[in-house]
Amino acid sequence: MSQIALVTGAGQGLGQHFCAGLLRAGYRVVVTDIKLEAAQACATQLDPGGEHTLALQLDAGCKADFENGLAQVLERFGALHVVVNNAAVTKTTPLMQISPEEFDAVVGLNLRSVFLGCQVLGAYMAETGYGRIINMASLAGQNGGTATGAHYAASKGGIVTLTKIFAKEFAAHGVTVNAIAPGPIDSTAVRAAIPPERLAGLLANIPVQRLGDADFLADLIVQLARPEAYFTTGATWDVNGGLFMR
């Protein structure tokens, strides 16, 4: 039986690439998004017959949605093996203009979504004795951000820490928890955040002088999701063109 993977925030952008990569690798994929129509559109585009996908409405900031989503996945496919916590909100508001409400909204969703995804879905995996969780962090959480807002950067730094915490919690139960920290990727989100007139300057500051490839991120997710990846947990994988080296 094919393994089952669930991706949050998959109705657009990188989430679609991740779903496509998992499908190519032979997974059945649960496409989730806060907007059901977006999840359905993605699933239909990637799997017109609907045999290998399930589209669900899932607010990644709501614990009940994760619980209900898990129940629907088990009803349809009978198991869940891989979770990609990708849902996030990106804001580029200048530091001194960020309101307390906007700060709470960005940090709250970005951190809460990973916390709940790991807590609810990770608990199920730990009970079954197997699972792979991949959390989407960011270069911004490592270097403080450049084109993104401080609240976004802070939330992504928190995801790196949550990844280590849950990795320790689940390590003895066959569940690995890792993070990926991309730099600027050739995606709609990056191009929306960076005006065309600033793009040349951004590329000049990247050591490899190119934007990252979204499909490569999907391939990395597939590698971390493999059963053979059991010895890799609590790690943050850097994909940033040399912008942050350690």
The answer to whether residue 27 is catalytic is no
Question: Of the residues 27, 124, 152, 230, which is catalytic?
Answer: 152
* DSSP H or E segment with residue 103: helix 100-116
Cα gap 160→15, rounded to integer Å = 19
Within 10 angstroms of residue 49's Cβ, the number of other Cβ atoms is: 7
Cα gap 43→28, rounded to integer Å = 11
Q: Which amino acid is at 46?
A: L
Q: Per-residue b/e over 202-233, b at no fewer than 16 CB within 10 Å?
A: beeebeeeebbebeebbbbbbebbeeeeeebb
Q: List, in order, residues 6 or more apart from 49 with CB less than 8 Å away.
A: none
Largest CA distance in the chain: 52
Q: Which of 230, 228, 136, 223 is nearest to 183 (CA)?
A: 136
Classify residue 121 as exposed, middle or buried by CB count within 10 Å of its CB (0-12, 13-18, 19+): buried
Cα gap 203→223, rounded to integer Å = 28
Residue in the block written with tokens 């993605």: 42
The set of catalytic residues is: 152
